[in-house]
Amino acid sequence: MASLVLGPVLRYVGETNATIFVETDEHCRVTVRSEGREWSCQTFSAHGHHYAIVLVDGLEPASIQDYSVDLGDRQVWPEADSEFPPSRIATLDPAKDASFLFGSCRTSVSHDKEGTDLHGVDAMRSYAYEMRRNPDHWPDFVLFLGDQLYADDTSPQMRDFIEKRRGLDDPPGEEVKDFIEYAELYRLAWTEPANRWLLSTLSSAMIFDDHDVRDDWNTSAAWHEEMNKKPWWHERIVGALGSYWIYQHAGNLDHEALQDDKIWKIIAAHRDSSELDLTEVVDAFGEEVDKDPTTYRFSFTRDLGESRVIVIDSRAARDLRPDHRAMLDADELAWLDEQMRGDCQHLFIGSSLPFLLPTGIHDLESMNETWAQGDRPRLAKLGEKVRQAVDLEHWAAFEKSFRDVSQMVMQVARGERGKAPATITFLSGDVHNSYVNEVTRTREPIESKIVQAVCSPIRNPLPRHVRMLQGTLAGWMGGPMRSLVSKFPKVKKPDFDWETTHGPWFDNNLARVEVLGPRLLLTWARGDVEGDDYDNPGLVRVATVLID
C-alpha cells in the first residue's frame, strides 16, 4: 500500500479552484475528496520519487471546505491522531481585503532544546500553533521568498543521509549533490507535523534564492565561470532546477498558466495506467534553463481581490555578461514591464532580494559594481573578490536593472500605467534582518506610497556580533556613504530618496500583510517557548507598522 512521503501541500488557490501536491513512496492513484466530490490523478516519477499534482476545480468562491486525500482506495490524510483541525481549502473572496504572510530563510533542524538553542524558535511552526488556537483569523496564503532549503549548509540529519549514501570525503562533501539529495532536503523541510499541517491548509507561493542552490548563485559572470569548473556542479544545478519545478514552481501557477507549461503538457498528455517517468524531462529542463534562462520563466503573478502580487525571479533570470549585466535579462524585464500596471488598490512586488536596501549599503554596492565592472583590471579583480566575500549582489549592484524597475514603479505611482495604487510595496527577505523603508522624495510628484518591507529569517538567526555590525552599518552609513559616492562621477546615484522608518530587528519571524482599504497593516511575529514546552510554542508580536 502506498504511503505519503510529503504533503498534502496546498498550493495555488483561486476563486473556484486549487492545486494540491503530494509525494508518495510508490506509484498509485491520488484522490482528493471534499464535500462529496473528488478529483484524482496518478503519480508521475523522477529519479525514483513519485509525485502527484491534483487540480481541484468547480469550487464556490468565498467558500471553505475540509478535504481528505486517498492513495488508491485508502484514506491517508488527515491523520487520525493529529492534534490539528482538518485541512481545508478556502477559496478567494474577491470582495474581501487580502491578508497574507511572507518571509524567507528557514533552516530545517530539530525543534528540541538542542535545535532551538542553535537556531531559535521556528516562526513558521509557531504560526501553525497560533492558527490552531485562533481559527477565526487565518491569512489567505503564505509567500516564501527564498532559502526554504540550504543546499550548501546542510543540517546534521541531511549530512547523515549524504554520508550513508555516498560519504562526505569527495566533493561536494556535506553539500547537496543531485536530485535525490534535493528530494531529501524537501522531505526534511516539510514533514515536521505542525509545519506539514500549515502547508496542507494554507495556500502557498514560493520563489528561490541563492541558498536553495548555493551561496551567491549567479552573483556574476566570474562566479558562474568558476562554478562551472567544478566537476560536481552540473549535476547540482540540474537537480536544483528540476526538483524546484516539481516541489515549488508548478504549484505557483494558476490552472490556466499550468496548462500552458511545457512540462505539465507532458504530464497531462500521459493517458495509460503506467507511471510516467519524467527523469529525462526534468534533467533536460535543468540543463536548458541553466544554459539559457530565457527558455523558461519562474516569475509569476497572483491576484487577491483588489490587490495584486508580482513575484520576480531575481536569481535564475539574470544576464551575467559583463557588458549586459542585469538582474533581469531582456525577456524577463519585458515581462515585468507588462505586469507593472496600476488599476489595483495595492500592488505588491515580491523579490527575494530587497529592492531598497538601507541607503548606505545601497551606495556601497553601487560603488562596488562600478569597480568590479570597470576597465582597471586590478581594481576590477579586487571589486569582484569583495563582491563575493560580503554578498554585494542585490539590486543596487545591478544598477541598470535598479534604474529600469525604478522607472516602471514611478510610472505606476504617478498614474501613468492605469490608476495609481494606494501603495506599491516590495516584499523581500535574504538579509537575515527585518525592516521597513519608505520613499521620501521623488523627482516628480507621485500618488502612491512606495514601501520596502523585509522579513528574514523565518529560522536562521545571525550570530550576535554580525547582528551588531549589520545594525550599525545600516544606521550610520547613509550620510558618509552618500558623501563618498558623490566624489565618484561614474557611480550611479538614484534620482529619488528613501529612509528606514522601522528596524532593523533580527528575530526569527514571519510577517503578515493585512489590507485595510487604502491602508496596510504590517505585523512581524516571532515564536516563543516557555520553559521546556517545545511542542507548544507561542507567537509574540515583534513590530507593527501602519502604512497610510
Q: Are 223 and 323 in contact (CB under 8 A)?
A: no
- List the domain boundaries for the chain: 1-96, 97-547
What pLDDT is recorded for position 110? 95
Give 337-396 pLDDT, tens digit per residue.
999 999 999 999 999 999 999 998 888 888 888 878 877 888 878 878 888 787 788 999
The per-residue pLDDT for 492 is: 82
CATH number for the region 97-547 comes to 3.60.21.10
Residues 42, 58: Cα–Cα separation, whole Å: 20
| Cα–Cα distance list, 10 to 113, 120, 444, 526 (Å) | 30, 26, 43, 23
For residue 457, pLDDT over 80 is answered with yes
Q: pLDDT (tens digit, 9 = 90+) per residue, 466-501?
A: 787 777 767 777 778 778 877 777 888 899 999 999
**Which class in CATH covers the domain with range 1-96?**
mainly beta
| Residue spans of beta strands (DSSP E) within 104-145 | 141-144
- Of 3, 32, 36, 6, the C-alpha closest to 18 is 32
pLDDT digits (tens, 9 = 90+) for 1-17: 999 999 999 999 999 99
Confidence of residue 36 (pLDDT cuts 50, 70, 90): very high
- Which residues partner with 543 through β-bridges? 524
Query: Tell me, what's the pLDDT at 480?
Result: 81
Task: Enumerate the H helices of 156-251 as residue ranges.
Answer: 156-166, 179-190, 193-201, 221-228, 233-244
Q: Please determine, for residue 138, whether its predicted confidence score (pLDDT) is greater than 90.
A: yes
pLDDT of residue 523 exceeding 80: yes
More confident residue, 428 or 482: 428
Q: DSSP states of 348-417 as a string?
A: EEEESS-SS--HHHHHHHHHHHHHHTSS-HHHHHHHHHHHHHTT--SGGGSHHHHHHHHHHHHHHHTTSS
Q: What's the CA gap between 371 and 379, in Å, rounded?
A: 6
Which pLDDT band, with edges at 50, 70 and 90, does 41 fall under?
Answer: very high
What percent of the chain is modeled with pLDDT above 90? 84
Comparing CA positions, the residue from 19, 193, 49 lying closest to residue 122 is 193
- Number of other residues whose CB lies within 10 A of the CB of residue 464: 9
Which residue bears the cell 497610510? 548
- Across the chain, what does the average pLDDT equal? 94
